[in-house]
Structure 1
Amino acid sequence: MKFLLIMHMNPALWEKLSEDEQQQVFDGHDRFQEVIRESGEMVGTKALDFPVNTATVTVRDGSVEVAEGPYVPGESFLCGYYVVDVASKERAVELASLIPDAKLTAVEVREVIHDAGAE
């Protein structure tokens, strides 16, 4: 079973962390990646840019419109994800709890219901 472990970040919260605390988050991701690589559960991971650098595309009545910024307004944003291949949802939740972002904001766990093999 493949699951997407979706990480969210709040820039205001991130900026309040000291450089040491921020480094602890990065180091935590390194340790997490080591765990899921060694277990064979890692499929892939991506980190995403800040929402200010986002282009949101909509098509209405055949007209393409592009707006600068995210589709969903707010402070927190999708900052990255891991794709894991695990035996159960319970294991995916267990892994999500190891991601440093779970201590700062949240990590969503969603089953991948279609996979075209693009990863």
Structure 2
Amino acid sequence: MRYALLMHYREPADGELSDEVIAEAQRQFGIYGQALTRAGVLLSADVLQPSLATTSVTHHDGDLRIQDGPFAETKEILAGIFLVDVPDLDAAIGWAGKCPGAQWGVVEVRPVAMSVVDGQWSS
């Protein structure tokens, strides 16, 4: 079954993290990604740009509205996504618990309802 591991944490201000801290986080995520790959469960992974790069699009009352920045005002942002294919929720929770992002915030584990793979919808 497919699960999205959604990393949410407080976005650091510019210059708040030293180059050493960033390099260590990248190293930890590299190790985590390699472990997911070796286990054969990683489908994809993306680290997102800072929320300042966000554009939100809504469609209300026939009008398309485009807004700079995230739609929701929150303390924590969606920072990245790992998509895994594992046997069950317990396995997904196990991988989420190993995610370096869990050190800085929350890793939300959400089952995937439907997927498009090679142009075909599946559930």
On whether the aligned pair clears a TM of 0.5, the verdict is yes
Higher strand share: 2
- CA distances 1:18-63 after superposition (whole Å, capped 9, x unpaired): 4323222111110111111111101001111111111111111111
- Counterpart in 1 of 2:60? 60
State the alpha-carbon separation in 2 of the partners of residues 18 and 65 from structure 1: 37
- Counterpart in 2 of 1:77? 77
Q: What is the TM-score with the length of structure 2 in the denominator?
A: 0.86
Higher helix share: 1
Deviates more, 1:58-67 or 1:6-15: 6-15
CA contact (8 A) 1:14 1:22 kept: no
Work out the percentage of aligned pairs sharing the same amino acid.
Answer: 24
State the alpha-carbon separation in 1 of the partners of residues 90 and 51 from structure 2: 31
Q: 1:54 to 1:22 in 2, by over 3 A?
A: same
For structure 1, the residue ranges without an aligned partner over 5 or more in a row are none
- Residue 13 of structure 1 deviates from its aligned partner by 7.5
Alpha carbon RMSD of aligned pairs, Å? 2.0
Q: 1:80 to 1:89 in 2, by over 3 A?
A: same
- Residue 15 of structure 1 deviates from its aligned partner by 5.4
Deviates more, 1:90-99 or 1:5-14: 5-14
- Residue 11 of structure 1 deviates from its aligned partner by 2.1
SS of 1:8's partner is strand
CA contact (8 A) 1:7 1:79 kept: yes
Q: 1:58 to 1:79 in 2, by over 3 A?
A: same
Alignment of 1:39-50 (within 5 A): 39-50=39-50
- Residue 12 of structure 1 deviates from its aligned partner by 3.1
Q: 1:111 to 1:58 in 2, by over 3 A?
A: same
